[in-house]
Amino acid sequence: MSDLADLSITSAHELLDSGETSSSELLDAVLKRAGITESHLHAYLTIDKAGAAEAAARADERIAAGDGAQMTGIPIALKDNMVTKGVETTCSSKILSGWIPPYDGTAVSRLKEVDAVTVGKTNLDEFAMGSSTENSAYGVTRNPWDTERVPGGSSGGSAAVVAAGSAFAALGSDTGGSVRQPAALCGVVGLKPTYGLVSRYGLIAFASSLDQIGPITRSVEDAVVVLEAIAGHDVMDATSYRGAVPDFRAGLSAGVAGLRVGVAAELLRDDMQPEVLAATRKMVDQLSDAGAAVRQVSLPSVEYALSAYYLIAPAEASANLARFDGVRYGLRVDGETTEEMMARTRAEGFGPEVIRRILLGTYALSAGYYDAFYGQAQRVRTLVRRDFAAAYENVDVLVSPTSPTTAFSVGEKSTDPIAMYYSDVCTIPSNLSGDPAISVPIGLDDAGLPIGFQVMAPSLGEPVLFQAAAEIERLADFTARPRLATSEVT
């Protein structure tokens, strides 16, 4: 693995710092890799070669001047639901086809400020609604470990490019597991930070009270590096956390001796893939051997979390997506009247999964059904939060599989929404509670597909989350690479 494209951010940063390589070289390596992998994966929607080359040149000047930060000169990818000034942003939807934003989202501009190099925009399930990246108006993204399989979703493009080495890291967004689940299915690290820690300004909203931007990286420490660059209060986001950002590195090398680790039976279910269950249990044992105090905890309400999520997220989405109406930007399908134009534009511009969720959310909020559906779902949300709060009185972190299965085949679940929704059963509770969670690859199943292990912590508990995740990474010693990321493929 001598290719620059496979380095971690921390290693690449050292080489940049010592002058052994340049940002332009890193970018070349990544673009070369993309040149090989993209025809198999279709993970990028846009590769901005010119913009990236300029950014790399700026980064090299800055590094030469001794002014480089950890992310300076590092080629990264952005999920295409993050608004980028001057670069087409589609959210993988026909309705935003050709939209060139006049502004940058906050996470994007923070990365620009340190001269990180944006390679391009990655594919997603349209408006981040899905768990397979099959619901894109611009084609399916495939898993670098097996191109017959999905990369997970909705940040499937971001997970795939990081796994394949066509970016050092990527930003995804996680509303019900959309960073963690594809990270798990692609054998990389995926973090959903505490709600409010990363500004949502410029993240095209799916469900505002659940959405959170998070990094997808090839190591836990890389996740810390990216998070450090993007976290912190933003005046443009009223829901942005106003307090001081915790020291994410505090426990990175502390190990897990004495750490109280909770295992919830509700998140280790018999209907999960046996290899996933076995790998999870093995890692729990390894943690115990490493000195962690493993405890059984109960989260009775998480059984209802999935149902609550599939009311709350569509309800918020039904309003968030109302602005796509053919008036000010994006697609317009003409009509005799504006009302007709809007209705046609929306029916033709949105894909079936988006329409399904808009209808579901509209219904859940409508007169006569609000209390029974949306209101009740919010009460379940309260119970989920209470369960977590009670659990965290006795444990420092909770662990579970990230996804009930490893990567499934393209088309396997795309006709069965409910089966697809079940992919997020372990990840959704953290979105409802607002707490941070991370997925770390811990092994492969019998088909050679990666298995992700999830760690959850209370809000602003990123330091302990990273502490546990770093030790899990060491214990798992997961060094396998997807075939596509090796030189065997051309």
Partner 1 sequence: MPVEIDIAKVAKLARLALNDEQLASYGEQLGAILEHAERVQAMATDDVEPTSHPLAMTNSFRADVVIPSLDRDEVLSQAPDSVEGQFAVPRILE
Partner 2 sequence: MTEYEAVIGIETHVELQTNSKMFCGCAVDFNAEANTVVCPVCLALPGALPVPNASAIDGILSIGAALSCELVEHSLFHRKNYFYPDLPKNYQISQYDVPLCADGHIDIVADGEPFRIGITRVHMEEDTGKSTHIGDDGRIRAASHSLLDFNRAGVPLVEIVTEPDIRTAEQARVYGAELQMIVRTLGVSDARLEEGSMRFDVNVSLRPVGQEEFGTRTEVKNVNSLRSMYRAIEFEIARQTEVLDSGGTIVQETRHWNEDSQRTTSMRSKEDSEDYRYFQEPDLLPLHIDAAWSARVYAAIPELPAIRRSRYLETGIDMVTAGVMVADAGLGELFDAAVASGADPKQAANWITGEVVANLRRTERQLADLPLSAEHLTQLDEMVSAGSLSATAAKDVLGGVMDGEGSPEQVAQSRDLLQISDTGALTTEVNTVLADNEDAVDKMRSGDMKPLGFLVGQVMKATGGKADPRMVSELIRNSVKE
Distances from the Cα of 372 to the Cα of 359, 376, 431, 471, angstroms: 16, 6, 22, 44
Distances from the Cα of 23 to the Cα of 5, 117, 459, angstroms: 11, 8, 35
State the minimum distance, in angstroms, from the CB of residue 347 to partner 2: 13
Q: Which stretch binds partner 1 (CB under 8 A): 99-107, 156-164, 198-206, 399-407?
A: 99-107
Pick the catalytic residue from 24, 79, 92, 439.
Answer: 79
**Which residue from 34, 107, 432, 457 is in contact with partner 1, where contact means CB under 8 A?**
432
Distance CA 214, CA 180 (A): 9
Distance CA 295, CA 264 (A): 9
Distances from the Cα of 248 to the Cα of 196, 278, 334, 467, angstroms: 16, 30, 51, 9
Distance CA 468, CA 255 (A): 7
Distance CA 213, CA 78 (A): 10
- In the region spanning residues 354 to 373, those forming contacts with partner 1, defined by CB under 8 A, are 355-356, 358-360, 362-364, 366, 372-373
Distance CA 297, CA 34 (A): 44
Distance CA 184, CA 438 (A): 10
Q: Which does 31 bind (CB under 5 to 8 A by kind): partner 2, partner 1, none?
A: none
Q: Is 90 in the site for partner 1 (CB under 8 A)?
A: no
Annotated catalytic residue 318: no
Q: What string marks each residue from 375 to 394 as x (binds partner 1 by CB under 8 A) or -?
A: xxxxxxxxx-x---------
Q: Which does 215 bind (CB under 5 to 8 A by kind): partner 2, partner 1, none?
A: none
Nearest to 354 by CA among 173, 152, 125: 125
Q: Which does 315 bind (CB under 5 to 8 A by kind): partner 2, partner 1, none?
A: partner 2
State the minimum distance, in angstroms, from the CB of residue 237 to partner 2: 5
Q: Which does 82 bind (CB under 5 to 8 A by kind): partner 2, partner 1, none?
A: partner 2
Annotated catalytic residue 79: yes
Crossing angle of helices 220-230 and 9-18, in 10° steps, is 70
Task: Compare residues 42 and 381 and give the one whose CB is closer to partner 1.
Answer: 381
Q: Which does 370 bind (CB under 5 to 8 A by kind): partner 1, partner 2, none?
A: partner 2
Task: Compare residues 4 and 207 and give the one whose CB is closer to partner 2.
Answer: 207
- In the region spanning residues 312 to 341, those forming contacts with partner 1, defined by CB under 8 A, are 318, 322, 325-332, 334-341
End-to-end alpha carbon distance in the chain: 16
Residues 6+ apart with CB under 8 A from 28: none
Pick the catalytic residue from 173, 178, 301, 318.
Answer: 178
Task: Compare residues 65 and 367 and give the one whose CB is closer to partner 1.
Answer: 367
Bridge partners for 294 per DSSP: 261
**Coil, strand or helix at 79:** strand
Q: Is 235 in the site for partner 1 (CB under 8 A)?
A: yes
Q: Is 288 in the site for partner 1 (CB under 8 A)?
A: no
Annotated catalytic residue 178: yes
Q: Is 131 in the site for partner 1 (CB under 8 A)?
A: no
Task: Compare residues 89 and 406 and give the one whose CB is closer to partner 1.
Answer: 89
Interface with partner 2 (CB under 8 A)? 81-83, 89, 91, 96, 99, 101-103, 105, 200-205, 207-209, 235-239, 315-316, 318-319, 322-325, 327-329, 338-339, 342, 362, 365-367, 370, 374
Task: Compare residues 255 and 335 and give the one whose CB is closer to partner 1.
Answer: 335
Tell me if 302 sits within 8 A of 177, measured CB to CB: no
Q: Is 310 in the site for partner 1 (CB under 8 A)?
A: yes
Task: Compare residues 23 and 92 and give the one whose CB is closer to partner 2.
Answer: 92
Tell me if 401 sits within 8 A of 267, measured CB to CB: yes
- In the region spanning residues 187 to 216, those forming contacts with partner 1, defined by CB under 8 A, are 195-196, 209-210
Distances from the Cα of 388 to the Cα of 213, 255, 263, 299, angstroms: 22, 23, 12, 7
Residues annotated as catalytic are 79, 154, 178
